[in-house]
Structure 1
Amino acid sequence: MHSWPYTSPMDALIRYFPQVDYSSCWHAMRDLTDHRDAQQSDELWVLEHPPIFTLGQAGKPEHVLNAGEIPVVNSDRGGQVTYHGPGQTVVYLMLDIKRLGLGSRGLVSAIEQGIIDFLASLGITAVNRDDAPGVYVQGAKIASLGLRIRRGATYHGLAINRDMDLSPWHRINPCGHVDQPMTTLKAQGVDLDRHSMEQQLVSFLAKRLGLTPRTAALPDWYNTRQENVTTGGDPGSALTQQPERL
């Protein structure tokens, strides 16, 4: 007899965070991936980051044109340079791809199609591109992807621009592409509150991935971090490894 709550193999735990620093998330999702087993539920973490540029494994420092006061860190995700900041929703996907029956190409396609389906529900026509992962609206990029596969499971994920300040994108060549225009949901005439937007996006992603979304509480690592912040301790004290800052 299963203890409550019971999750089936195709359930995915969806955890909705407020704003979380990149380093804490990076370590926590890597730790989850390193210690998960075949019975563990997949998880999606939905959140925002404070302003930061991240360089993926294919990233070249020369694509960071003028970082200014915004931190730049090396990341172990795929892809090149991207920007995260307020007004952008990030979805990290910790998925057992063998259980889902997906290879890397199938996974990327499912994620992109989930985003395209979500945008279509809002009246926005969007496409993906064979030469540059992500989702585009009339040539302008609205969503970025960067994944890592480790021990048969994924981490990192996607970012979609809601109503963010686009000026930091001019400080980089987004994903290594010179003069790549960017856009947001708001620029496309959509003004959804963050909570509604994120729930709708997750629903479309889950459908494409064959998952049943189950909203879950925030994890211990986040609660511990918040306690440290509240008590004046070191918010990164639980972290044993940090991305390399340039």
Structure 2
Amino acid sequence: MIVQDLGLIEYDAAHDIQLERRDAVEAGADETLFLLEHQPVVTIGRTGRAQGLTVPESVLTERGITVRHTERGGDATCHFPGQLVAYVVFRLAKRPGGVRAFVQFLEQCAIDVCAECGVSAHRREGFPGVWTDGGKIASIGLGVRRWVSYHGLALNVGADLGPFEWVVPCGIAGARATSIDLEHRRLAESAGRPYPEPIPMEHVKHAFVQAFRTHQAASPVAAGEAPRQ
């Protein structure tokens, strides 16, 4: 597995990179995990509808906010500096459980990262992604072509979640977004403590790679076992 940090990058540039890598992985190249942050962008998945936006797409464009319709699953979401995006270009044909199990794999990586950062997070039945008592902290939307995945996961890290004003998180009316830093602030307020220092993005990236490698090494495919259907 290759891990590549793309830093802060425009959505279109990262999209081109992962499409090129998807084709290479299908042809036999090493599976690849891309880590990055995006300049502000709203993406709308295959099942996305206008109701997933809180303002018209034309208004976002007029404000200089990039809007892109993508091949991933899911509704509308947003990406911005302070949010860790993980694009996963992996072969799924021999993975037990296929796409569904891979989504759960990514959810568990995010849950582990949150725990390592002192935040309790969990799954929510019927809604892909990761949640805390304060709201949704990570979103997942995969694209799969010829059994090779691309797109992936977005984990909110920083306290500024202003871009979520543009979308309905997970397409669920009334749902709130939260982040690692906001959860730390919420816990500090409840305990009457000062706000802690923000978690550095590099720390979160490192924790994500560690969690990913741990669960990848434990999978039957990585261990060389026959996949179970």
TM over 0.5: yes
TM-score by length of 1: 0.76
Runs of 4+ in 1 over 2 A off after TM superposition: 34-39, 98-102, 209-212
TM-score (norm 2): 0.81
In 1, the alpha carbon distance for the partners of 2:27 and 2:69 equals 30
Structure 2: distance between partners of 1:211 and 1:81: 33
Q: CA deviation at 1:206?
A: 2.3
Matched, 1:54 2:43: yes
Contact 1:34/1:151 (<8 A) preserved: no
Is the contact between residue 111 and residue 209 of structure 1 (CA under 8 Å) also seen in structure 2?
no
The CA RMSD measured in Å over matched residues stands at 1.9
CA distance in 1, matches of 2:26, 2:100: 23
Q: In the alignment, which residue of structure 2 is the partner of 1:32?
A: 21
Deviation at residue 43 of structure 1 after TM alignment? 0.4
Partner residue, 2:102: 107
Return the letter of the residue paired with 2:212.
Answer: L
The structure with the greater share of residues assigned to helix is 2
Q: Specify the alignment match of 2:206 in structure 1.
A: 199
Between 1:141-150 and 1:170-179, the stretch displaced more is 170-179
- 2:137 counterpart letter in structure 1: I
Q: C-alpha distance in 1, partners of 2:16/2:53?
A: 24
**Aligned twin of 1:170:** 165
Q: Cα distance, 1:100 vs. partner?
A: 4.0
Which stretches in structure 2 are left out of the alignment for 5+ residues?
185-195, 220-229
Q: 1:91 aligns with which of 86, 95, 98?
A: 86
Runs of 5+ unmatched residues, structure 1: 1-11, 213-246
Distance in 2, matches of 1:150 and 1:28, equals 16
Distance 1:182 1:33 in 2: 30
Aligned partner of 2:135 in structure 1 is 140
Between the two structures, name the one with larger relative contact order (CA 8 Å, sep ≥ 6). 1
1:45 matched to which residue of 2?
34
Identity of aligned residues (%): 30
**How far apart are residue 36 of structure 1 and its match?**
2.8
Query: Which residue in the other structure is 1:160 paired with?
Result: 155
